[in-house]
Structure 1
């Protein structure tokens, strides 16, 4: 697939994850509103430019998380990494100085975990 967002036409991608939660239905049961969580992974063609985030032009892939009321970085880390002790990765990626002063509704970049290579 090719990714388009408004006037942004930037990269070929594969769908890595898609979760849809229906939140509102008509009286006949037809879904009228849904929340979608979509993760795309850029497809790299050797003849094309290197992998990069199309909006920030960073070479690393990441997810974005909208902070809910009462959520903390350790809970976000547990949700995305399965390990609450990795909250510092999220704090560093978002230049968080005070993890207790986060505002609900804020968008947080969730960087991919570093890959360990055996050598």
Structure 2
């Protein structure tokens, strides 16, 4: 999958089939050659394309439930997690990462370990 170096995301595509219009990103493409010319050059192929619905960021933010839980939650860190992404998922705002860092006595907010359990405090 190609990533747009300016957006840091795959390019947005418009899939049109008759009157059906679908804004998406291409998640996966696979090809299978079904015929070859006598010279060994592929002459026919079948492609399988997996598309994923694209939703603009401002729409995603509006659709996100911004209410925090009434109880403290636990979060188990997986590879690639960081405090900003966890705060965005739990509170709807990545800037709230400090709440998680303070609740877990994290001095270096850039270091999380897969398997580490974090308390996600109630946002007041």
- Mark the structure with the bigger radius of gyration: 2
Q: TM-score range by the shorter chain?
A: 0.3 to 0.5
1 or 2, which has the higher helix percentage?
2
- TM-score, structure 2 length as denominator? 0.43
- TM-score, structure 1 length as denominator? 0.45
